[in-house]
Structure 1
Amino acid sequence: MTGGGEREASGALVRRALGGRGALWIAFAVVHLLLAWLNLYAPGYPMGDVTGVYRVWAENASHGWLRMGIDAPWVYPILAFAPMAAAFAFGEAYIAQSWLVIVALLDGIVFSILLGRAVLSRRRRLAAWWWLGFLLLLGPIAFGRIDAVTVPFAIAGLLWAAGRPRVAATLLTIGAWIKVWPAALVAALVIASRRRGEVVTIAVSLSVAIIAVSLLAGAGTNVFGFIAEQAGRGLQIEAPAAVFWLWQIVAGAKDVTIEYSRDILTFQIVGPGADAAASLTTPLMLVGALAVAAVGFRAARRGAHFGVLMPPLALAFVVVLMLANKVGSPQFVTWLAAPVVLGLVLRPARFAVPALLAAAVALITQIIYPYWYGWLLIADPAFVFLLTMKVALLVALLVWAIRAVWQAGTRRDATPRPAIAD
């Protein structure tokens, strides 16, 4: 055999090895074990929210002292307490390990849905490898917050959106009552699906049931406390809008500082106009979401195919939530996984650009947090530049997504394969 033939045969063997389910599951295990280890032992306290904040909430509730979201307003929707309580089931000493097991189990269920039971297609294989790579690039923050529980619900919901919209609506609504952001995916599903009446019925009915149970438990108006709690926050340093003030600190401005808020346990910008900017983010988010919805409805009315419209529309909604956000926490980057995985399953060539952009956002995020977060806290120019690049990449993602949604209503693309063939 010639040298070229040997190389070709070797390449074929590598492709077959990497393309099988076994290799993907081994990679899944390696990635999750590595990220679990980083969460437990890496510098920067990546599991701080779980072991320092979620633990206190779960402990207080277990003793009957204070049930967040029922006895007092809470920053999260009521179902967020479920995974926190589950992680506390084996006691305070093992809450971190239990949390990581819960995340890994949820990811494993969704990974099996993504791979499917039929012959493993190139599209699903590509999406699976991308998701694992994205998790590695994002680092420990991918597991160490409540968002890690919602992402599997979001990915599964989107994968089933075309063939099982009622199941998708159920999963996405549950995710939204853990942390609000999957509600944007419900909105995308309502716009893109031809069975939007069923989606709305499921989402509303399930939400009413969750609210009713919360009221029976004594929540009262606290069931909606997460809305007021979010509205009262200041401009967090990772927020896209904070870049403007961070560069002022770099330039030597004395009237702009970074201060720690003990009320919400975050670092915030304090300076001229910062509070006004924080107040404007919510209406700006609403305007942005309405603009995306308008473009999406235009495409749907013009007969855009679900598989062509849904991935970029979901991506556009998610990125709007990230850009017009006064918080901007690093774990928000996990949200990008759901629409990108769907896009790679349905239209891999088309979604190559957002997949690369999202991966770059993940890498920048891990560089900043948790390892060298202290440099951002002192507004080091290099790290302010990195945050600025992250914001620029998110803007590029939004531009790409809106353009793709607009084009979906302008031209008829070939029908993509269903997300789950079996």
Structure 2
Amino acid sequence: MRHPLAALWSAFVLVHLLLITLALFGPGYPLGDVEVVYRGWAEDAAAGNIVGVTENFVYPLLALVPVVGALALGGPAYLGTWFGLITVLNAGAFFVLLRTHRPAAWWWLAFLALLGPIALLRIDAVTVPLCIIALLGLRRRPLWGTVLLTIAAWIKIWPVAALAALFVASKLRWRMLGVAAAVTAAVVAAAGALSLARGSGIHVLSFVGEQAGRGIQIESPIAVPWLWQAVLNVPGSFIYYDQQILTFQVAGDGTAAASAVMTPLLALAAAAVLLLGVRAQGRGAGWLAVFPPLTLALTMTLIAVNKVGSPQFISWLAAPIILGLVLNGRAWRTPALLALALAALTQLVYPYLYDWLLVAHPLMILVLTVRNLLEFVLLGWALFTLYQLGRPAKPASGQAASGQAAPDRFTSTPLSTKQLIPKPLTKKPLI
């Protein structure tokens, strides 16, 4: 008799084989970061020059763990070891997901296939499965989920969106903040001690300055006006390669000012999103209702209101979309479809036709413009959902006449969720 999960696991294997094949033999060169940059950092670390410890690092310190870990079987096997590491992490998240919501598992496989090889070939690929596991485990083990989210944020900063949303939505917010602070303090203390022991300055927080000092990256939404100027051959507007940051950026009138204002604008936008979450929470919305759209809204803010834009950023969407599908089912059909469209457009841009983007080909700039506009559509959906949660519920006429309180529409679990979530999860949520 065929196992009921055989089709899902077979599809998982096929999708990962497809992504690896496209990475190795498809057009473009998506392997560069892993084969050149990550392997270089790993070999330097083995020689004693450790980024984040003895010199500045563009990522949070714990990114070194998978980067150096992939060197375990030697330099020539680095790429294969990296593929194996990401596949194992994804398999762990897939296993957890299959215990709660199989339709969401199918969605994730479709999302990975549409996003393409970039889904496996950046440090972000380590954090996505960790975040999926953490978010799905929060109801049963909220503190351990917080630990895992904090560790993920010390690999790539974006999971701080889920941590911030959790602080707003959870009744255990102060305990969770303490857990996150303890993990952070341990990382900073260990890194600082190691730096001092090697006679170098403390570099553990250098990634903050490295990110803030960037220009406007060509795939970011804010870059679109200058990309179209490059298409139209406006004097002074062009695409160039930054040798220090190792990214393609735009130049032109106003780019310096725009670059300077984007970091504070991102902070203000994130604060405004958090206030929407606080408003919804203060007006009676339960954490099950607030947490998924708030996490998605903050994640989309980090993507859309950012001067840094990379194809792997779209991979972040898997975690909040899966959370929303698990907890709210069909209500999250629209963002799930939008995320699939974003993934497909991203794969079209990178890696296959990236050369067209670098020469400002009008068709590719149009594709990128549509992709970036869809980012704001998805952000708008999340913000509208949060706004709706903050509106007072209207009691049904029969209940109002009888004096009975209306049921709490924010904290009740959808029927589909009750059917799919294992029995231990049907108890009153801990957070």
Paired residues for 1:1-400 under 5 Å? 20-64=4-48, 66-116=49-99, 124-218=101-195, 220-400=201-381
Q: Give the C-alpha shift of residue 162 in structure 1.
A: 2.5
Aligned mate of 1:415, from 413, 416, 424 = 413
Q: Give the C-alpha shift of residue 36 in structure 1.
A: 1.5
Q: Deviations over 1:20-49 (max 9, x none)?
A: 311111111111111112222222111110
TM-score (norm 1): 0.92
SS in 1 for 2:156: coil
- Taking the aligned partners of 2:4 and 2:376, their CA distance within structure 1 comes to 36
- Taking the aligned partners of 1:259 and 1:391, their CA distance within structure 2 comes to 20
Hey, what does 1:9 align to over in structure 2? none
SS in 2 for 1:73: coil
- Taking the aligned partners of 1:156 and 1:164, their CA distance within structure 2 comes to 11
TM-score (norm 2): 0.90
Aligned identity (percent) is: 47
Q: Give the C-alpha shift of residue 56 in structure 1.
A: 0.6
Q: Give the C-alpha shift of residue 78 in structure 1.
A: 0.5
Does structure 1 conserve the Cα–Cα contact (< 8 Å) formed by 2:327 and 2:413?
no
SS in 2 for 1:282: helix
- Taking the aligned partners of 1:276 and 1:86, their CA distance within structure 2 comes to 40
Q: Deviations over 1:30-77 (max 9, x none)?
A: 11111112222222111110001001110011011x110011111001
Q: Give the C-alpha shift of residue 164 in structure 1.
A: 1.8
SS in 1 for 2:337: helix
- Taking the aligned partners of 1:222 and 1:39, their CA distance within structure 2 comes to 33
| Structure 2 segments unaligned to the other structure (5+ residues) | 394-408, 425-431
Aligned letter for 1:101?
A: G
- Taking the aligned partners of 1:420 and 1:68, their CA distance within structure 2 comes to 43
- Describe the shift of the 1:163–1:406 C-alpha distance in structure 2 as closer, same or farther (beyond 3 A): farther
Hey, what does 1:13 align to over in structure 2? none
- Taking the aligned partners of 2:167 and 2:347, their CA distance within structure 1 comes to 34
Aligned letter for 1:131?
A: W
SS in 2 for 1:355: helix
- Taking the aligned partners of 1:170 and 1:334, their CA distance within structure 2 comes to 21
Q: Give the C-alpha shift of residue 105 in structure 1.
A: 0.4
Q: Give the C-alpha shift of residue 308 in structure 1.
A: 1.3
Q: Deviations over 1:325-346 (max 9, x none)?
A: 1111000000000000011111
- Taking the aligned partners of 1:300 and 1:307, their CA distance within structure 2 comes to 11
Pairwise CA RMSD: 1.6
Does structure 2 conserve the Cα–Cα contact (< 8 Å) formed by 1:70 and 1:214?
yes
Q: Deviations over 1:357-415 (max 9, x none)?
A: 01000000000000110000111111111111111111011110011112223243433
- Taking the aligned partners of 1:420 and 1:257, their CA distance within structure 2 comes to 52
Instruction: State the number of aligned residues.
Output: 399
- Taking the aligned partners of 1:372 and 1:302, their CA distance within structure 2 comes to 48
| Structure 1 segments unaligned to the other structure (5+ residues) | 1-15
Q: Give the C-alpha shift of residue 420 in structure 1.
A: 4.9
